[in-house]
Structure 1
Amino acid sequence: MKRPTFALMPDTSPSTAARGQRRLITMLFVDLSGSTGLAEWMEAEHYAELLAQLSALYEQVVPRHGGAVARIQGDGVLAIFGYPEVREDDGRRATEAALELHTLVRGLRPAGPLPEHFKGLTLHSGIHAGVVFVGEGDAVRGRYELIGNAPNIAARLAENARADEILVSQETLGLQSHYFETSARRQLHLRGRATPIGVYLVKGRSPLSRRFEASERRGLTPLQGRAAELSVLDQALSRAFAGATFWVAVRAGAGLGKTRLCEEFLLRVSDHACQVHRGHCESYLVAEPLQPWLQMLRGLEHYVGGPPELALALQAPPEERAERLLALFLALAAETAQLLFIDDLQWADDASLRLLHQLRDHAARRRLPVLLLTASRPALPGSYVLPTTSGADQLIELPPLPEPAAAVTVSRLLPQADPFVAAEVQRHAGGNPLFLEELCHAAAEATVAGERLGQAQPSAAWLATLIESRVERLPPEQADLVRIAAVIGTVVPTWLLTALTGIGERDAGVQALAEQDFLFPDREPGALRFKHGITRDVVYDSTGLHLRQQLHRRIAAQLRARGAETDNLHELLAYHDAAANEWPLAAQHAEAAGDQALASSALDRAKRQFRAALAALEFLPDTPERRRRWVNIAQRLGMACVFDASRDDLRVLRHAAELAQGLGDTGLIARTDYWLAYVGYALGEVRESLRYAQAAVSSAEACQDGALLAQLPGTVGQIHAAAAHYPEALAQFERAIQRQRERADKSRNRVGLAYSLCCKAYVLGDQGDFDGAHAAFAEALDAVADPGHAVQASIQGWRSAVLLWQGRWAEAREAAEISHRVGTQVRSMFTCAMGHAASAYAAWMLERAPEAPQQILDAIAWLAPRGGGLFSSFNHAWLAEICVEQGDMRCARHHIACALARARQQDWVGGAMAYRAAAKLAVMAGDKARARRCLDLAARAGARRGSGHEAAVTDWVRADLGLATAGQPTLEAAVQQLKRLGMTGFLSARAPALSGSAR
């Protein structure tokens, strides 16, 4: 394979003081505890002797664990692990080195007289990993100069450690924490760091030797997507039971679940008359020869009645162990079937591999029932790895999890995660179970912190080290190719890769990277894709900054030369120009990409691009023109936010309003206030939204902005409707619809017309005019022909709500499912979630679907991080009704309270239903007086909205429960009213547990 034409070289930018590299390094800071006091009472000669002893220990112990001493300063040391070679267990090596140093220092005795209070020497240490710039050192800076924030964090951890304590950041140790006894993870606030960091206090070494054992302690999720592989293993076991020796080798990259598959199989084997032995290999320096076989032997030490070969093997000197072990396992196989499992065979020593082959050959010749099962990683080209699968009778190449299995895994690890986060996790993990686990963990932490996954990508250094160590072991040409591809992106057009490197899709190096699970052909021809998005991110982050910028500039130049032939040209140029610090170009292309995404209803992409444009503008000179442009882009961001608003969006628009006020432009002020009103409305902030809308009307009239004045009645009507001010809302809708019909020749006006008609329809439906409502819905759907437009999700969502009010459950579920589907396609979380909840409630009313309550809870959870509350009283009222019917009084009370809390914020659509649920709870408790009061409140809540259907249902529930008093409708009259309104579905969906319960 020829070397890429743009080979990666160490960063030699003029701005860099010395040559060096950007590397992922694990840093160990060690200091002597109480050193100031020691220096005060010790003689200078004795203290110098102590420092010399410490220095000698540091120089001996750190290299023994694979590290390098970067700097010894006084009584402390900074040691680094992962330079010049990154190893996936660098975090473990640093921790092992710290433990040994602490032990040795406790054994030191200072020379000279000691004070009475002296309790012995101790160290305190901190360990952290991160990407740093490693440069050449000198006499002052030490052997290496480390530039970056990660060394500061490691130093702060050492500062916070008490005497004889070792603090390790969670992201450094990660899953390798099972090798140690640690405290529970705790959050630590470090000086100079805004957010707390998760840390472990390391107490000593753990008896656990495998990550799988630690996973078992935490609890395993059910195995997914490996039925075919388990079937192959079952067949192999059957062959062994029939008297044939058989070797099955499971091979896959790190994290794909080799050990989990084998352990799941071994659990099934426990039901058979078969003796199982387990062993594993380690890459760490303490691994002994014949390690997995000796582990199996030690597991047999207490085996009573074993063959004489057992005692011989236990007592054998090292040079005879292999021969004795072979005789032992052949003797055991002569008695009963044997299954031997060796994990991580890629790290086996020569003697272990030789014994494996000998056992297979001898047992096969004697036709003994032996099943050999091994798990290993594929060998990286150019690295010295023994052929761990040659000679196996069957090789199982473990692929990434298929999408359905990955989706189930994510749903178990991230219950109630919204579908957009779940999809992002799946896309980024590429079917790797280990990556799925880490990304789900990161997503959960981001949710707790009030962030989205995209804002808080996983920063686990242990995982980055695992990935980077694989890249480091590639031949240089392939490693360069991977890094160039990572700068291009997760999807790599082959023409662009060829333009940068001279290497084509069919090149042997590209094919080798596919075999090594890095790059593989995309579904679309002419492109490669990183199999795991997280791999791409790690490789990108570990590539030098200046080199990345050079590559980004070259990529942008190639894209511009390609021009219109490139899909998503503006989006790609916005990304590469920003990464190259070409801010004017980045802002231009991000703005254009946002406009394109908005036109195609790709709302998440539109928001992302508009935000990127705003970020790029911050690097340009602060001029009135730049501020005006900032405000204009923020207004278009508001347009993209309508269907998926968040508190962050509101903050951006408030800043835009401040800029508009500073510019003194009445037109800009009017339109910014308009979008503040709209986004606030989408978040359920009715009062504040109405204030902004009224301010927008005044400003629009002052500057005679006819287009905005045409839009404003619809927005004002929507806000009044959300607050249940229906007369005002309908008057505004009529004005808006008339103006929008006159301007319906433009796409934007048709969308505005459709939404105004939709809002008018749900108001009419709430008032009981179902015929008028459905006529308005039909016109709204006709106004926007595109079935995938975001407004279609809103129309179908409200149509579903009106059908639910009418008791037409099957039609309501169908409309809600359309709303959910379209909302998902355009990534509008509000319509996606509300459609999901409405569909679930319809399914409950139609067939008492058992999954309905959880689906509504999921919808609530999806919306919670965005801070939106618009019409969320619906969800809580539906859940309250279901919980009452299920007899779950505590759950019912909670959701009644949530629905009524929303009512206090002007969200009244679920208020009457919540009060009816409270009345039913009172009936169940035998408190008729309270039930009547709740029904009176339900009637008032419905009357507040002028809701004809709420009045009909409340009268029917009152009569059905036997709570009607003189002058109130009888049961027969209430039933007739439901029939007149076409609401007969309520009669067939009545809850049998409550019907007549108060009589």
Structure 2
Amino acid sequence: MTESPVPFTAPAAPASVGQRRLLTLLFVDLSGSTAMAEWMEAEHYAAMLGELRDLYERIVPHHGGVIARIQGDGMLAVFGHPDVREDDGRRATEAALELHAAVRGLLPPGPRPADFKGLTLHSGIHAGIVLVNEGDQMRGRFELLGNAPNIAARLSEAARADEIIASEESLGLQSQFFETGPRFSLQLRGRATPLAAYRVFGRAPVGRRFEASMRRGLAPFVGRGTELAALDAGLARALAGGTVWLGLRAGAGVGKTRLTEEFLRRAGDQPCRIHRGYCESYLSAEPLQPFLQMLRAMDGMADAPPELFAAQHSAPAERADALLALLLALARGTPQLVFIDDLQWADDASLRLLHRLRSGAERAGLPLMLLSASRPPTTAGLPGAHDADAQLLTLPPLTECESARAVHHLLPQADPFIAAEVQRHAGGNPLFIEELCHAAADAGESLVEGQSSSAWLAALVESRVGRLPPEQAWLVRLAAVIGNVIPVWLLQALSGCGEQHPAVLALAAQDFIFPDSHPGHLRFKHGITRDVVYEATGLHERQALHRHIRAELAARGGAEGQLHEQLAYHAAAANDWPAAALHAEAAGDQALAASALDRAKKQFRAALAALEFLPDDDARRRRWITIAQRLGMACVFDASQDDLRVLKHAAVLAAADGDAGLVARTEYWLAYVGYALGETRDSLRHARAAVEKAQQCGDHALLAQLPGTVGQLQAAAANYAEATPMLDLAIERQRLRASKSAVNRIGLSFSLCCRAYVLGDRGRFDEAHATFAEALAPFDGSGHAVEASIQGWRAAVFLWQGRWADAQAAAAVAHRVGAQVRSMFTCAMGHAAGAYGAWMQDGDPGAPQRVLDATAWLAPRGGGLYSSFNHGWLADMRATQGDIAAARRHVALALRRGRQHDWIGGAMAYRAAARLAAQAGDAAQARHYLALARGAGEQRNSDHEAAVTALVEAELRLDDGWRAALDRAQAAFERMGMAGFLARAQHLRGG
């Protein structure tokens, strides 16, 4: 006996609340109707409206739509009710085109003015989540609540006479089925952000989604080596005289058609004739559709057999026999390859003919390969499935490595966090990868958790859910509310279905959920599927489930502390804000203690958001401030301007509270987060305020921490004379406390790291590397964020010393660990430092682009800490390449960083400017920039900068003193062990 599901039943929603549906909406209106009403007789106007309504009522249902209401000469139609279809956007657009054409053919009754140009419509199409209530005489057939109907109406308003405007949300890739104008942004009344849209002019000669993808531009073909080999082997058997039927199965968007197109391209070099056909669910489908497509493609063949005429001109009832005879006759002459795409939509006549063709070829021993591509049947193990007699090849999602390659092809400059987010949401589905990459490229930022992609893609997912049996559809929605990862015990407690229940196994076969790598857990195959299903679940049902899940988690007992994240999430989703704030704060503290800083940030932000729903009083404000301070602690390795804004608000609240201790610690974290963002000048001001307030309230613990922070800020400002004693004091104190807590060990290592790069900048490289070794010892190989930070600075010091290979090795660790702990600063700086090391060692031509990429990754976060490094490196590389405009731009950007006391790349920028001036033949200007470079190095008391500036002076040979400059440089390089620069000097001397 199998276990029977005992599903949790959500409380019924209030009677006034309808169904939550994903709909595509078509809003049409008659153009110029107000003016027409003035010159038309009322009876004539009424007759014209009657004709218009007749068109609406005939054409909209023909395309699968339902008229929600007709008001005057306007009409609102919905596509996707009661069942969502993946091509609802296409259907709505087809309906609009047919309506426009039909209305152009109408003539209003009665006399017309001489300047009357004919009747036209203007239409808008948009898709989104809508609450559907039953209507009445006043509201129409349905009452549609939500923003999507309003946007469709606004698009119709924006359209000119005889114009159709469709939002990108509603069409997406399906826009390629139509001739459209360029994608444009439209600022609609009542909408805060512009809406991307297209003007639709007509139908395009496109029948399949693959052809639509080709019009937009195909993503590179990735992976599928095993499947290609199996297809090649099948063709080889057919070429040897056998009959083969291979059925390729996979869910929507997994890449069946792309794989078969790649195979057919290769098969074109083989001695066989290829026939192609496809099936579709749309209205243009006809009986025997794929075979008739093949027949029409054969028309005009020079070697056409007599059967071709019979197949073309036979009566419909006899056409299948004629087509069968034709294909068998062709196979008697040469091997045939017959490909049918989207077989799941084939009509019964096509399926019968396909099976007869296979049987007839087998009996006659003919060389024939049948290849079909289809989606899995809705119910696993369904008898009599369309391709059940084929040798089935199941196409899996792309592997993690293949997905990464696909993302890199589509978003070559994207930061690794966006790439990882795309991979997580897409789950190896190539279509999802492609669409999410397009969305990320358009937005210029990371995907937002919990938000689906465009509505047309959501419709693709929802249509799959809609075809599931009711029990499986309910399980998918329940799982979506639980989360992307589903504990099996929780699913069973809520539904009665364990991991081996037939309904759960069927969902795995349908590529919805599958066993996670952690035993006892399931996971959604595609994160986007989970997001879409969750959003389409009604609010009341969702909230009831969240409450029930939270109760089950609490009843689970055991170490409740391990459940804080889950409890916080479900409490917030159920609008239980006190519990949400409590658990999110606790989860943030746990993550902070475990140095999981990205998770700590997420939870502290969730706690702050939950507090906003609680009554405002002194206790709530103080709690808000203290959580914001811990957020500051969590974001020191990956700060953003958003984090800084939170702390600035906390500072306002603390000042209003008047507690000197709260003010001191808030100012301290403002200083630290500002430092992490490169706002050194402002951070020094906050640090001084923190010292003043800490002294005022006697906060000795904070006063003990402040020397390290002030020392780091002064070091960032290149005020080494002031930084060194503060860092030494902090190191002395932190060494005494390092054994007492992990936080103290982190503080000591970071202070040592700052002391090391100050020593390195002064050319005391041996001392610098010894200090780096002490800083790194507790964390080497740990994968901790502080390890990434230390290795990033080691890479910079190795670059100063000209140890290019060592710099690249340290930078690789900084990049890798930074990506693991989601510290964009260390990840990006490691990427940039490694690229510059490769440039200096081998002249790597791709290095400038990698440094540009790393700089761009930091831009959305508003970070600028030591970004003069990046611009100095880029100025040097571009000047060497002779790219004058780019070099000048980066010189200016590096020097602009001086406004925040970031002079670390200043000397390099001035040297690049000197090189540009020398290339232009302006020796005086080149000497001027070299003097500024020397000054920038002297400001930092940097011996290595002075030596490199002397080397550049010698390389430019501006006057007779270049040999003396080379002597100075070479002597300094030998003394400081600057190997790479020494080799460059020796090469210059030898040359």
Asked if Structure 1 and Structure 2 have the same fold, meaning a TM-score greater than 0.5 normalized by the shorter chain, the answer is yes
Map 1:313-712 → 2, pairs under 5 A: 313-381=311-379, 387-392=385-390, 394-447=391-444, 451-454=445-448, 457-565=451-559, 568-712=562-706
1: CA distance, partners of 2:191 / 2:273: 54
Map 1:178-197 → 2, pairs under 5 A: 178-197=176-195
Partner of 1:759: 754
Partner of 1:942: 937
Tell me which moved more, 240-249 or 473-482. Answer: 240-249
Letter in 2 for 1:484: L
- Asked if the contact 1:446/1:456 (under 8 Å) is kept, the reply is no
2: CA distance, partners of 1:963 / 1:678: 45
Task: State the 1:851 CA deviation.
Answer: 4.0
2: CA distance, partners of 1:378 / 1:437: 22
Aligned counterpart in structure 2 of residue 739 of structure 1, from 710, 713, 733: 733
SS in 2 for 1:200: strand
1: CA distance, partners of 2:968 / 2:380: 86
Partner of 2:168: 170
2: CA distance, partners of 1:160 / 1:952: 65
Partner of 2:13: 13
Partner of 2:768: 773
2: CA distance, partners of 1:499 / 1:662: 49
SS in 2 for 1:751: helix
1: CA distance, partners of 2:130 / 2:411: 32
Task: State the 1:156 CA deviation.
Answer: 1.1
Return the TM-score normalized by structure 1. Answer: 0.95
Partner of 2:858: 863
Q: Could you say if the C-alpha distance between residues 7 and 747 of structure 1 is closer, same or farther in structure 2, counting changes exceeding 3 Å?
A: closer
2: CA distance, partners of 1:246 / 1:175: 34
- Asked if the contact 1:494/1:504 (under 8 Å) is kept, the reply is yes
1:635-664 CA distances to partner (integer Å, 9 max, x unpaired)? 111111111111111111111111111111
1: CA distance, partners of 2:284 / 2:780: 69
2: CA distance, partners of 1:661 / 1:974: 54
Q: Could you say if the C-alpha distance between residues 505 and 989 of structure 1 is closer, same or farther in structure 2, counting changes exceeding 3 Å?
A: farther
Aligned counterpart in structure 2 of residue 816 of structure 1, from 811, 815, 819: 811
Task: State the 1:252 CA deviation.
Answer: 0.3
Where structure 1 has 5 or more consecutive residues not aligned to the other structure, the ranges are none
2: CA distance, partners of 1:104 / 1:996: 84
Letter in 2 for 1:653: L
Task: State the 1:821 CA deviation.
Answer: 2.3
SS in 2 for 1:132: strand
- Asked if the contact 1:178/1:210 (under 8 Å) is kept, the reply is no
Map 1:161-310 → 2, pairs under 5 A: 161-310=159-308
Partner of 2:717: 723
Tell me which moved more, 738-747 or 125-134. Answer: 738-747
Tell me which moved more, 265-274 or 195-204. Answer: 265-274
Q: Could you say if the C-alpha distance between residues 968 and 718 of structure 1 is closer, same or farther in structure 2, counting changes exceeding 3 Å?
A: farther
Partner of 1:932: 927
Task: State the 1:332 CA deviation.
Answer: 2.3
1:866-924 CA distances to partner (integer Å, 9 max, x unpaired)? 11111112122223333444454444444333323324442211121222233334444
Partner of 1:46: 44
Task: State the 1:454 CA deviation.
Answer: 2.1
1:798-822 CA distances to partner (integer Å, 9 max, x unpaired)? 1221122112223222222222222
Task: State the 1:128 CA deviation.
Answer: 1.1
Aligned counterpart in structure 2 of residue 951 of structure 1, from 941, 946, 960: 946
2: CA distance, partners of 1:926 / 1:337: 71
Aligned counterpart in structure 2 of residue 127 of structure 1, from 121, 125, 128: 125
Q: Could you say if the C-alpha distance between residues 470 and 561 of structure 1 is closer, same or farther in structure 2, counting changes exceeding 3 Å?
A: same
1:770-813 CA distances to partner (integer Å, 9 max, x unpaired)? 23322322332246578232222212211221122112223222
1:32-66 CA distances to partner (integer Å, 9 max, x unpaired)? 11221222222222222222222222222222211
Where structure 2 has 5 or more consecutive residues not aligned to the other structure, the ranges are none
- Asked if the contact 2:380/2:510 (under 8 Å) is kept, the reply is no
1: CA distance, partners of 2:893 / 2:267: 51
Q: Could you say if the C-alpha distance between residues 426 and 673 of structure 1 is closer, same or farther in structure 2, counting changes exceeding 3 Å?
A: same
Tell me which moved more, 909-918 or 428-437. Answer: 909-918
1: CA distance, partners of 2:178 / 2:802: 60
1:794 partnered with 2:789: yes
Q: Could you say if the C-alpha distance between residues 566 and 443 of structure 1 is closer, same or farther in structure 2, counting changes exceeding 3 Å?
A: farther
- Asked if the contact 2:27/2:123 (under 8 Å) is kept, the reply is yes
SS in 1 for 2:557: helix
Letter in 2 for 1:30: V
1:803 partnered with 2:798: yes
Aligned counterpart in structure 2 of residue 986 of structure 1, from 959, 981, 987: 981
Letter in 1 for 2:92: A
1:187-227 CA distances to partner (integer Å, 9 max, x unpaired)? 11111000011111111111111121222233223211111
1: CA distance, partners of 2:19 / 2:103: 34
Task: State the 1:850 CA deviation.
Answer: 4.5
2: CA distance, partners of 1:602 / 1:302: 68
Letter in 2 for 1:672: T
Q: Could you say if the C-alpha distance between residues 363 and 260 of structure 1 is closer, same or farther in structure 2, counting changes exceeding 3 Å?
A: same
1: CA distance, partners of 2:617 / 2:451: 34
- Asked if the contact 1:278/1:340 (under 8 Å) is kept, the reply is yes
1: CA distance, partners of 2:123 / 2:965: 79
- Asked if the contact 1:382/1:475 (under 8 Å) is kept, the reply is no
SS in 2 for 1:453: coil
What is the aligned-residue RMSD (CA, Å)?
Answer: 2.2
2: CA distance, partners of 1:863 / 1:763: 24
Partner of 2:150: 152
Task: State the 1:85 CA deviation.
Answer: 1.2
- Asked if the contact 1:885/1:991 (under 8 Å) is kept, the reply is no
Q: Could you say if the C-alpha distance between residues 971 and 390 of structure 1 is closer, same or farther in structure 2, counting changes exceeding 3 Å?
A: same
1:430-469 CA distances to partner (integer Å, 9 max, x unpaired)? 100011111111222221xxx4322694441111111111
Letter in 1 for 2:13: S
1:274-305 CA distances to partner (integer Å, 9 max, x unpaired)? 22221111101221111111111111223234
- Asked if the contact 2:219/2:434 (under 8 Å) is kept, the reply is no
2: CA distance, partners of 1:618 / 1:267: 59
1:403-424 CA distances to partner (integer Å, 9 max, x unpaired)? 1110000001111111111111
1:222-248 CA distances to partner (integer Å, 9 max, x unpaired)? 211111111111111212221222221
- Asked if the contact 2:546/2:571 (under 8 Å) is kept, the reply is yes
Task: State the 1:590 CA deviation.
Answer: 0.6
